[in-house]
Structure formats: C-alpha cells, structure tokens
Amino acid sequence: MSRKGFHPESVSPGTRSVWAGEEEYLLQGSTQVPVVHSVSFGYENLEDWHEVALGKREGHIYSRITNPTVKVFEEKVRCLEGAEAAVSFATGMAAISASLFTFLSPGSRVVAIKDTYGGTNKLFLDFLPRFHVETVLCDTHDFAGIEAEMDQGCDLLYLETPTNPTLKVVDVERLSRAAHGQGGLVVVDNTFATPINQNPLNLGADLVIHSATKFLGGHADALGGIVCGPEELVRKVYHYREINGGTLHPMAAYLLLRGMKTLHLRVRQQNESALTIARWLESQPQVDRVYYPGLESHPHYETARKQMRGFGGVLSFSLEGGFDAVRSFLPHLRLAHLAANLGSVETVAGPPRTTSHVECTEEERRAMGIPEGLIRYSVGIEETEDLLADLKQALDRLPRRTGVSSGK
Ligand SMILES: *Cc1c(COP(=O)(O)O)cnc(C)c1O
C-alpha cells in the first residue's frame, strides 16, 4: 500500500502524524487530502458496485458507511496507536457510546472508575441501567479495589488515564491483566494522554478511544471521535456506526487531519510547558495543591512514568480560598480562554464546577475529590514564560493569606 516504499510503522510517531494514511487518497497529484463532500459514489457497472457493497473489493458506496477523507483520518490515528483497525465518529461521546452499546447486553457487568469524563459517567449512571447493564464505579486510585471488584465478574473494564479533571493515573497494564483473567474487554479513553504520550494497546487494552475534538485536532474547530483496536473488534463497532449513524463529517475529518500534522510538535511543547508550570505553581503560596502526573508529589507518579512518554498538556490546581478565589482569579488571565474545551493551541482554563462536572452537586464533587477551588488549565502552545507571567500576575491579585497552612 505504499508508494516510494514508505511504511508508517517504520518511522517515529511524529513522522506518522505528518505522512501516514494519505497517499492512496491524494487526487490528481494533489499534495493535500481532498475533502470529498459526496454523499454517494457512483458505479459504471452493477458488478463492481455489487462487489464493493459486499466488501469483496475496496471502494465507497455511501458516506454514512465510508468516505475517502474520513478514511485518511482513521488511517492516521490507527498508525499512531499501532492498531490493526480504526473507526471514527462525529464526536468522542459517539465513539464511547457506540463502543459500549456494541459490546454490552442485558446482564453484562461493567467495572469502571469514578473519574471518567462527565458524559461517560452519565452513560454508566443514566443510560446503561435502562438496558439492565450493571456498572460499578470504583475509586480511581485504588487499583486493588478495582481488581477485587473485577473478581465479582467483569465483561468490560472501562478506564481513562490521566483523568479529568484531577489527573489521576491508572495502571493500565495491571488492570488489563486482571480484566482479561475474567474474560473482560478493556477499553481505555486516551484523550488526555494522546498517542504521542501513551499507547494503551501496548499496555494490554483491547480498544483505545479518543475525543479527537481535543488534542488530535488541536485547534478547537472540529468535533470528532475514534476507536482503535484489533480488526475483529473494530469491525463490530464499525457495524454499529454504519447502522446507528454517528458518522464523522468529511469537513471535520479534514480539519482534524490538518491539525494532526503538528500533533507531535504541539504535544511536545504542551508536555514541557505543563511540567514547568505545574512545578512553579507548587511553590506559590496562593495555590493549595497541584494535580499533574509529571510531579513527583503525584500519588501515581511511578505508574505515570512507566506507561507514559510525556505527562500531557492538562494540569489542575486548587486555590486557597475556594470558589471565591477562582471567581476573582480566572477573569484576570489574559492568555486563556475561559471555556469548556481542552487540548487546543490556545490555553484554556475553567473550573470543573462550570465545565466537566457542572451537573454534579457540591457534595458529589467533594466525594469525587474535586475541591471547589479547582481550576483545570489546558496548556496551549504559547511560550512557557508568557504563560508563567500571566499566571503570576493573576495570582498576585489574590489576597495573600498569612499564617494559613494547607498541610502542604
Ligand atoms: C471531551 C472528552 C470526551 C467527549 O468528547 P466529545 O468530542 O466532546 O464528544 C470524552 N473523553 C474525554 C476524556 C474528553 O476530554
């Protein structure tokens, strides 16, 4: 499948994000992937059409099923995750819900963590029970507890690491082994890490999911989702999408592809800035606690080092003074959108209270270990020193507390 003898597997991930998946789809010498805005694909004879429809020959029939631009996006992410196959979706949530509804049936038992993405959590609590699927949500940091829960039966283990918004890290290798011991399928949401920093399939996961809306696209201008894994499993998820219809739009696929050309450069910069900023924040008196897997103070720093090549572009920190402090601090940031997304080229900041966990009560957030003074800070690609200066000027406006010990 490769002109010039190019094999994506033989080059490093950064090079894959530039070149992988494209050449077969370039049109009349174009160097860029065309956006194929066609609902259907015509045939000159019925035999060819029939063979494509039966899957006996490569080709496209109808864009809910396959589309050339969308295919390139799937192929690029597939190469980055080192998977056999990939299938994309209109959003990350469509990818997650399709994966769950493909593999679960009445009576199935899901073991998951408490800290999954807000929408995913709603699937577990509000939607799956209606189909008589039992979901047990375990304390994210308690690996032995998750294993014990799986001993009671596990058809599907659902993980996310690092988690939103407190950047907890789960040991994918250890928990995958336990799930497989029960015959369970392991699904990992890799959105926060990106394939540049972490490849869950290499750690034992069966399926890896991304909200491409975040780091993969990287420019906050297109929604998308993707599921990668072995051909045999992905084929089933693909069939679900073919019928349920949560297909990625070709224009969105194009925007995501364009964003992915710089994935490795962005992520490298974001890893570096986030670590520098996290370390700096830890030493600031107005800051109560910093949550970032690259800090030695992180409870699962060793696990993070074992399974990640970089610690990602999202960090959180809590301010002394709770939500009142957050309310006065955030509007002073000049180099951050106050918004709900993350993983973009611009820095984005927001409190879980109005973003990821808006639907929870204060009690529920406390039970999840989310302090009211927490701020999620998704580092963009700005120069690190400018972000540090911006954070400093905003922190300096907060009243300094004297004689208050946070037990840090
Ligand atoms: C944003 C996000 C999702 C949902 O993705 P959408 O594209 O918004 O549907 C799922 N998981 C994580 C970790 C996310 O950050």
Does residue 246 have its Cβ closer than 6 Å to ligand 1?
no
Residues of the chain above pLDDT 90, percent: 89
> Residue 144 has what pLDDT?
98
Tell me how far the alpha carbon of residue 217 lies from the centroid of ligand 1, in angstroms: 12
Does residue 117 have its Cβ closer than 6 Å to ligand 1?
yes
Does residue 91 have its Cβ closer than 6 Å to ligand 1?
yes
Q: What is the pLDDT of residues 76-133, one digit of tens each?
A: 999 999 999 999 999 999 999 999 999 999 999 999 999 999 999 999 999 999 999 9
> Residue 3 has what pLDDT?
59
> Would you place residue 401 in the very low, low, confident or very high pLDDT band (cuts 50, 70, 90)?
low
CA distance 391 to 279: 13
Q: What is the pLDDT of residues 186-241, one digit of tens each?
A: 999 999 999 999 999 999 999 999 999 999 999 999 999 999 999 999 999 999 99
pLDDT at 24 over 70: yes
Does residue 189 have its Cβ closer than 6 Å to ligand 1?
yes
What domains can be seen in the chain, in order of their start residue? 8-260 (3.40.640.10), 263-396 (3.90.1150.10)
CA distance 61 to 228: 23
- For the annotated catalytic residues, the residue numbers are 64, 117, 189, 214
User: Which of 163-177, 347-361, 392-406 comes out lowest in average pLDDT?
Assistant: 392-406
The whole model's pTM is what?
Answer: 0.95
> Would you place residue 408 in the very low, low, confident or very high pLDDT band (cuts 50, 70, 90)?
very low
Q: What are the structure tokens assigned to 85, written together? A: 């196959």
Task: Tell me which DSSP letter residue 40 carries.
Answer: B
DSSP bridge pairs for 86: 228
Looking at ligand 1, which residue's alpha carbon is closest to its atom 11?
Answer: 117
Please say whether the beta carbons of 161 and 168 come within 8 A: yes
CA distance 333 to 346: 12
**Which ligand 1 atom is nearest residue 343's CA?**
15
DSSP bridge pairs for 287: 319
Tell me how far the alpha carbon of residue 117 lies from the centroid of ligand 1, in angstroms: 7
Please say whether the beta carbons of 117 and 356 come within 8 A: yes
Q: What are the structure tokens assigned to 338, written together? A: 């106050």
Look up residue 227 and give its amino acid: V
**C-alpha radius of gyration, the chain, whole number:** 22
> Residue 1 has what pLDDT?
44
- Answer left, alpha or beta for residue 343, where phi above 0 means left and psi between -120 and 50 means alpha: left
Indicate the average pLDDT of the chain: 94
CA distance 316 to 391: 13
Looking at ligand 1, which residue's alpha carbon is closest to its atom 4?
Answer: 92
CA distance 192 to 357: 16
Please say whether the beta carbons of 22 and 30 come within 8 A: no
> Residue 356 has what pLDDT?
73
